[in-house]
Amino acid sequence: MGLAKLIAKFGAPGSAAKSVANGYKKIKAACPGMSDKDIFKKIVEVRYSFMGENHYLDPISKMIDNNEIDNICELVMSIISHESKDFEDLPFSYKTEILSAVAEILCKQKVINPNAG
C-alpha cells in the first residue's frame, strides 16, 4: 500500500467515504424508491448544512444535476476535491491511490459492487 493510499484510508478522504456511505445506506433504507441522484443531493445538502459550508453545496449539486456525478465514488471524489484546496495539484499517481482507497472503503461499506464493470 502506497503512502498516499494509507493516508487516504485513515485521513479526510476515508472519513468522507465512510460518511457518504453511511448517509447513502440510511437514506436508501428510509426511502427505498428514491433515485441515487436524489440521494446524492440529499447527502450533499445534509453534509454542508451540518458543516456550515454552504458554498460547497451549489457547485456539487449542479454537478449532480448535470450528470457529472453519477455514482457514489464520483460523489466522494468530488467532495474531497471541493473540500481540499490542493487536491487538484496532487500528482496523478496520488489521486489514483486516493481513488483506490475510497473505492475499497465503499466496497467494505457495501455501497458499491467490487465486481461491477
Whether 84 is covered by a domain: the verdict is: yes
Number of domains in the chain: 1
Q: What is the pLDDT of residue 5?
A: 78
Whether 64 is covered by a domain: the verdict is: yes
Q: Quote the domain boundaries for residue 29.
A: 3-108
Whether 117 is covered by a domain: the verdict is: no
Mean pLDDT per block of 10 residues along the chain (117 residues) reads: 77 92 97 96 92 84 95 95 88 90 93 74
Whether 115 is covered by a domain: the verdict is: no
Q: Which among 17, 12, 13, 3 is positioned nearest to 110, based on CA atoms?
A: 17
Q: What is the pLDDT of residue 116?
A: 61
Whether 116 is covered by a domain: the verdict is: no
Whether 24 is covered by a domain: the verdict is: yes
Q: What is the pLDDT of residue 10?
A: 82
